[in-house]
Structure formats: structure tokens, C-alpha cells
């Protein structure tokens, strides 16, 4: 099984698939915002940034998956984005399931001064006037943060499998003239 995941990480198609899935998730968030009229909260903005990290890792991995440096950098960015997104989605779910005056998110995003994403890309990363404890959308009884826990959980699990598979020795490919 680890050999399969190692071969996947060496394949450009798998990295492109990661980027496409992240792009679809990002597009879904923008659809909810601009077509359905749902305003993102601060936690939604943070989760969008984590999805953007997954998109970027898919693009970096697709550039040169056989080059170890590029592949390892893409895997580490993938892992950081997936784990950070999972933790953010869990905290966002806690805000919605246990609303209280002392359990709330910030009013504006707390990005570093050197990377103010909400000012650089306000159409994507600027939150609306919505509290994180408000649930604006549900499907099958789950709100958006619960679905993101599922998505980021799948990304995290696949990251762990790919990371472990990188330590598996590849079998040398012998080519015989006489076969």
C-alpha cells in the first residue's frame, strides 16, 4: 500500500487532482458568498486560506513531482494546510455548537502585517459582518464547518499516508534486453 502512495506522489496527475479538489472547494466557498449571498466569518476566511494552501501545494507538486526538493516542499505545505485547516474547522464547529459570549472569534482577521491577505485579496479573504457562532447553511444536518472537518480530515489522512510512503525504498527498475 505504501508503494502505491509513493508512486502517486511521483505522479503529476495526483498533484493536479489535489489542486483541482482544492480549487473546487475554494470555488464552492465563493459561490456561497457571491451567488447565495452568505457572508463569510473570520473563521471561514482562515479556512479559505488553508484551502488555498492545499491548492498551492498541488500546483507546486505538479511542477516537478520527481524532484525530491519540490515534492517534499509540496508535501510539507500540504500537511501544514490540511492540519491547520482541520484544527480551524474543529474550533469553528465549537463556536457554532457551544455559542456563548466568551467563546467567539475575532471581529477582523489577524493576518501578519507582512501578509495582509484581507487587504490584498478582499474579494476572497475579507470577512462579512457575521459572527462565527451563526450557522447560515446546512446540508444533511451538518453545517459548513462540520463538512470542512470531513474534507480536511481526508486531506490530513492522505497527507499522513503520502508522508509515510516517502520513507519506503523504491524498487529499482531493471530493464532487461532479453525480456
Q: What is the pLDDT of residue 179?
A: 55
Q: Which residues contact 75 (CB under 8 A, 6 or more apart)?
A: 9, 57, 61, 159, 162, 163, 166
- 127 in a structural domain: no
For residues 43 and 88, is the Cβ–Cβ distance under 8 A?
A: yes
- 86 in a structural domain: yes
Q: Which domain holds residue 44?
A: 1-98+142-167
> 123: helix, coil or strand?
helix
Sign of the alpha-carbon dihedral angle for 94, 23, 79, 112: negative
Other Cβ atoms within 10 Å of 111 Cβ, number:
16
How do beta strands 138-139 and 142-143 pair? antiparallel
Q: Which residues are catalytic, by number?
A: 41, 44, 48, 105, 132
Q: Which residues contact 179 (CB under 8 A, 6 or more apart)?
A: none
- 121 in a structural domain: no
- 155 in a structural domain: yes
Q: List the one residue out of 75, 60, 56, 94 whose CA is nearest residue 156.
A: 75
- 59 in a structural domain: yes
> 177: helix, coil or strand?
coil
Q: What is the pLDDT of residue 171?
A: 62
Q: What is the pLDDT of residue 162?
A: 85
- 77 in a structural domain: yes
Instruction: Name residue, grid cell 516517502.
Output: 166
Q: What is the pLDDT of residue 175?
A: 62
- 88 in a structural domain: yes
Phi and psi at 142, nearest 5°, equal: -110, 140
Q: What is the CATH number of the domain that holds 21?
A: 1.20.1550.10
Instruction: Name residue, grid cell 500540504.
Output: 78
Pairwise CA distance, residues 51 & 174, whole Å: 40
Task: Give me the tens of pLDDT residue by residue for the chain, a chain 179 residues long.
Answer: 777 777 777 788 888 999 999 999 999 988 988 898 888 888 888 899 999 999 999 999 999 888 888 989 999 999 999 999 999 999 988 888 887 777 777 777 777 777 777 778 777 777 777 777 777 777 887 788 899 999 999 999 999 988 888 887 766 566 666 55
pTM: 0.82
Phi and psi at 170, nearest 5°, equal: -80, 145
Q: What is the pLDDT of residue 17?
A: 92
Q: What is the pLDDT of residue 52?
A: 93
* Domain total of the chain: 1
- 1 in a structural domain: yes
Amino acid at each position: 500500500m505504501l508503494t502505491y502512495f509513493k508512486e502517486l506522489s511521483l505522479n503529476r496527475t495526483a498533484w493536479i487532482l489535489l489542486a483541482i479538489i482544492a480549487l473546487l472547494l475554494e470555488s464552492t466557498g465563493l459561490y456561497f458568498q457571491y451567488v447565495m449571498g452568505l457572508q463569510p466569518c473570520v473563521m471561514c476566511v482562515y479556512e479559505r486560506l488553508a484551502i488555498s494552501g492545499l491548492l498551492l501545494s498541488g500546483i507546486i507538486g505538479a511542477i516537478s513531482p520527481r524532484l525530491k526538493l519540490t515534492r517534499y516542499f509540496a508535501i510539507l505545505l500540504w500537511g501544514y494546510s490540511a492540519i491547520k485547516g482541520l484544527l480551524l474547522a474543529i474550533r469553528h464547529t465549537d463556536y457554532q455548537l457551544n455559542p456563548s459570549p466568551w467563546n467567539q472569534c475575532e471581529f477582523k482577521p489577524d493576518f501578519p502585517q507582512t501578509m495582509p491577505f484581507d487587504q490584498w485579496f478582499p474579494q476572497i479573504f475579507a470577512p462579512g459582518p457575521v459572527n462565527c457562532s451563526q450557522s447560515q447553511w446546512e446540508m444533511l444536518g451538518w453545517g459548513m464547518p462540520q463538512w470542512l472537518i470531513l474534507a480536511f480530515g481526508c486531506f490530513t489522512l492522505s497527507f499522513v499516508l503520502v508522508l509515510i510512503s516517502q520513507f519506503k525504498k523504491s524498487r529499482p527498475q531493471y530493464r532487461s534486453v532479453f525480456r
